[in-house]
Amino acid sequence: MTLICGGIRLVIVAVPDCFDTLSARRLAWDYTALADAYVARPDYADAAIREIAALTGLPRGASALDLGAGAGHLTIKIAGLGWDVLALEPNAAMRAHGIRRTRELHNVRWVDGVMESTGQAAGSFSACTYGSSFGVVDRAVTLREAARLLEDEGWFACVFNHRALDDPLQQEIEAFIKSRLPDYDYGTRREEQSEVIEASGFFRRTHRIEAPVSHVRPVEEWITAWRSHATLQRQSGDRFPEIVDGISAIIARTCTDRIEVPYVTRGWVAQRLPRADCA
């Protein structure tokens, strides 16, 4: 079923009973309380998006599914390539922000669903993309779903924005976090993704992308972005506000009203093998 709401097409799909288990995973990464702050997170490097476009060679009008689309950070970038994007996001608060931010983009639609079992038709997309969301799923399961969704020789791409931890200010922030959470771990989001992608058996050799980018932001806006840090929030629990306040105090000592934050957009791009080669 397709509904038109405020000029935005919202696709509603029926989902199988196996969603019960996947819904539990969805709740494990519940972004509802973080959604407003998430909008302030920085964009991916334009150079990384251009490299994805060059590697895939997909034309304007190519069909793409952006999985775990969140507030639309990657959705907006790939829509700018002229691709026809279906943005899939399970969290209603995040999806509302994404719909609002893309309301003028006529090549973007939104749908509710989880990455491991999307409810979308097999072989119906030229690209499956993940903007930081590949770090919050069972990667083996979602790679299998991506392979099902992609047409033969379609493309998988995932990207992450990593703060450059060789920057002195970022080093001080990291030391503060570790002083409060000695076992703090970024999980899979800072891992090399090539091995798990290639081990799935569905894709050709992985291409790795790395593009530095600096964002100059109002200090308050960057602190707001920290309030959307789900990995930190999950591991700190009730101490999350205290830790963000501590980060804010560090920034206040070293910055004025604006801050330059160095990032590296890292990505992995791989082409789906023909189905006959995976038999």
Q: For the chain, give every domain's residue range.
A: 2-163+187-214+263-278
Mean pLDDT by 10 residues, the chain (279 residues): 43 41 48 63 94 98 97 96 97 93 97 96 98 94 98 98 94 95 90 97 98 90 82 91 94 84 96 89
Exposed/middle/buried for residue 159 (C-beta within 10 Å: 0-12, 13-18, 19+): buried
How many other C-beta atoms lie within 10 A of the C-beta of residue 167? 16
Give CA–CA dist 212/43, Å, rounded. 12
At 15 the pLDDT is 40
Query: Nearest to residue 136, comparing CAs of 90, 171, 176?
Result: 90
In terms of DSSP H, where are the helices of 200-275?
219-226, 230-236, 240-254
Per-residue confidence (pLDDT) for residue 30, from 0 to 100? 66
DSSP state of 58: P
CA angle 255, 258, 259 (to 5 degrees): 65
pLDDT value at residue 5:
41
pLDDT at res. 182: 95
CATH says 2-163+187-214+263-278 is which class?
Answer: alpha beta
pLDDT of amino acid 1: 44
- Within 10 Å of residue 126's Cβ, how many Cβ atoms? 20
